[in-house]
Amino acid sequence: MTVFMVTLLTGLVAGVVGGLAGIGGSIIMLPALAIFLGYATPDRSEHHLYMAAAMLVNVVVAYFARVQHAREGAVRADLVRPILASMCVSVVIGVLVVNVFDGTVAKNALIGFILCYCLFNMYSTVRKLPEPQPHQQRGGRALLLGIGGLTGFMAGFLGIGGGIVMVPLMQWVARVPLRQSIAASAAVMWVTAIIGSVTKLSLLHTHGQHWLDALALAGPMALGAVAGARFGAWCTHRLHLPYLKAAISIILGASAIKMAYDGLSKFRARQTDSAEVDRAPGGQGSTTLTPSESP
């Protein structure tokens, strides 16, 4: 399968899941790019490239999902404004912080985050907690600012849209109904994804990557995401979400485990190659006698 087809199909699936769950789709795109395109450098610097491409596509996924949610009347301005204000700042901070680390750290952080997200989703599905009602919303502007700040930092650090953090926080901490949380997430994310992706693109050269390569990956993914995001957002208001979330969690968990296994396998292979070099004649671990030391 060509790179174009891989990225196009990745974008389509990410768009559906993003529109369905109120997330940007990076949590689908990043594992897919890692598994199907892989890494060529020991420090996994390509992961920063994949992050930049995924963040660009998040703009498309979130925008079209936001349009569909607005048509359904689910977007609340009183939620969007404070979250957007703090998230615009914190997403830049997150991008700057992760840029200090090589791609291996960013990749492992994503794996850990995906596994935690999957466990949380499965737990919330099994517990079947009651849906918050509009009159049960708690906290105020300060709480929403805090949610936006944490979400933005995580989005910038992991290269995700942020909805995967924001939606659970809004639902469980601020007690906002699920569909309104998803709609607010999409409404905020398409703006913050622009800010985060531009910042990320401007820093790619520090990891030996080029912003044009990120655009080349993002283009086909964005095409697939356009159709997928609108369909996913439409499904949000018509399908039973808990079971879909459980299915998504199983797939994502398997992808994260695959990423971790591939990374461990390559690490062991490098260790084996290094040991063989050390044992070889003239290798680092061998001892060569000088003429004066020879018997």
Residues of the chain with pLDDT under 50: 285-295
Residue type, 121: N
Q: pLDDT tens, 73-110?
A: 888 989 999 999 999 999 999 999 999 999 999 999 99
Output the pLDDT for position 293.
43
Q: pLDDT tens, 222-250?
A: 999 888 877 877 776 676 666 677 777 88
Output the pLDDT for position 69.
77
Output the pLDDT for position 55.
94
CA–CA gap between residue 244 and residue 268 (Å, rounded): 36
Output the pLDDT for position 242.
66
CA–CA gap between residue 99 and residue 188 (Å, rounded): 23
